[in-house]
Amino acid sequence: MTEAAQKSTAGVTFAARLSFEHISHRFSDHTAALHDVTLTAEPGEVLCLLGPSGSGKTTLLRIAAGIEPQSAGRVLLNDREIAGPSVFLPPEQRSIGLVFQDFALFPHMTILDNVRFGLTALSREEARREAIIALERVGLAHYAAAYPHILSGGEQQRVALARALVPRPAVLLMDEPFSGLDSRLKDSVRAETLDILRQSRATAIVVTHDAEEAMRMGDRIALLKDGRLIQVGRAQELYQSPASLFVAGFFSELNILDADARHGAVETPLGRFEAPGLADGTPVAVAIRLSGFDVGERIGDIPARVVSRRFLGVVELLELAVPGADFHLRARVRCGALSSQAKDIWLSIRKSDVLVFERQPENA
Ligand code: ATP
């Protein structure tokens, strides 16, 4: 093979399917971390595990890696059991790569040695060549002889990515890989990482607690809460058709109005909303996205008084008093939509930004 051909194919893996089947986990101190999670990352996809702190994301990742053996259920790689009642493959036999939040580079080793660290099956020269190719792919080959401390956070993250990808894992697991980066750097490193993942064709599972990050990165998103899988789907599905108030609140800031269903609808100080299929008297939460309002000094059908406004750049955040409501409504509107003196205004609500849920104990 020519060097050029070698270069173009190096690091490309055969994408694998990783499945969790009815995974439950309880730690030795009896903390129940996961309850009956069934989820599949399809070959070549980026699946984001999203959820609040303590929801079980890291535990699920550690179970996939083989660092934490699950209490019940099975893990399958390309439909072959790698962890279950009868089999337990140790981490090094799983063809699974890991990237941690703190990058975990060895400070006393050069960048090149950090990247070739895991290539024990290759000769020293072959490992060197593979490591250089991996560094080229993340644009850092010129740092091969340097030590990690001279690299920026974003560059260290790219080295960690090169190190994880160089053994050509079938699946790459990333635990909050961007949380150590400042917000400006985060966007560019995230975009680069996504490009590199696409080129490598590895299946990737990325843990994050940031819904926007999950939407930017994930082909699909799996939302966890208290160790349970709440909803899985494309970003648009979770945003537009959330399965519960919890899911809706994870993806957008909401105003929440409580009311009871009557004749398939709910009456609120902001008007009447459809609540199809709900029996009379059912407690209902009407959730309205902060971005779901149009405001004006002459247009709109709901009168409101501006209580406060905060300039946020492209948009401003309004706090509004509405007749008959014992709470202040929050709205995020385009700057310039209201004059600087506006006090008594009108608003209208976009239907697509209203979500109606039966109040469940989970939603309470
Ligand atoms: P975060 O975003 O804060 O990292 P997470 O969603 O990744 O949270 P996990 O770290 O998986 O959540 O933790 C799930 C639950 O298991 C939590 O209640 C946590 O306190 C508990 N837990 C995690 N590791 C252990 C452990 N080694 N021993 C006992 N309990 C643990």
pLDDT for 15 beyond 90: no
Q: Could you tell which of 59, 173, 224 is best to mutate to test the pocket of ligand 1, judged by most ligand atoms within 8 Å of the CB? A: 59
Ligand 1 and 186: CB distance under 6 A: no
Give, using CA atoms, the residue closest to atom 10 of ligand 1.
58
Which residue lies with its CA nearest to atom 28 of ligand 1? 27
Ligand 1 site, residue 30, Cβ cutoff 6 A: no
Ranges for all domains in the chain classified under CATH 3.40.50.300: 3-240
Residue 190: what pLDDT?
A: 86
Would the pLDDT of 2 be above 70? no
The protein residue whose alpha carbon is closest to atom 3 in ligand 1 is 53
What was the pLDDT predicted at 312? 93
Please indicate whether residue 55, judged by its CB atom, sits closer than 6 Å to ligand 1. yes
User: Is any atom of ligand 1 closer than 6 Å to the C-beta of 114?
Assistant: no
Q: Tell me how far apart the alpha carbons of residues 363 and 247 are, in angstroms, rounded to a whole number.
A: 10
Higher pLDDT residue, 39 or 192?
A: 39
- The CATH class given to the 3-240 domain equals alpha beta
Q: What is the pLDDT of residue 251?
A: 95
Is the shortest distance between the CB of 226 and ligand 1 below 6 Å? Answer: no
Least confident of 12-16, 66-70, 74-78, 158-162: 12-16
- With a 6 A CB cut-off, is 106 part of the ligand 1 pocket? no
Query: How buried is 119 (Cβ within 10 angstroms: 0-12 exposed, 13-18 middle, 19+ buried)?
Result: buried
Tell me the best of 27, 176, 205, 208 to mutate to test the pocket of ligand 1, counting ligand atoms within 8 Å of each CB and taking the most. Answer: 27
- pLDDT at position 103 is 65
pLDDT of residue 152: 86
Q: Up-side HSE of residue 309: CA atoms within 13 Å toward CB?
A: 20
Q: What is the pTM of this model?
A: 0.88
Expressed in angstroms and rounded, the spacing between residue 125 Cα and the centre of ligand 1 is: 41
Give the atom of ligand 1 at the shortest distance from the alpha carbon of 51. Answer: 6
Nearest ligand 1 atom to alpha carbon 29: 29
Pick 132 or 5 by higher pLDDT: 132
Dihedral sign, Cα of residue 123, residue 126, residue 131, residue 132: positive
Averaged pLDDT score across all residues of the chain:
89
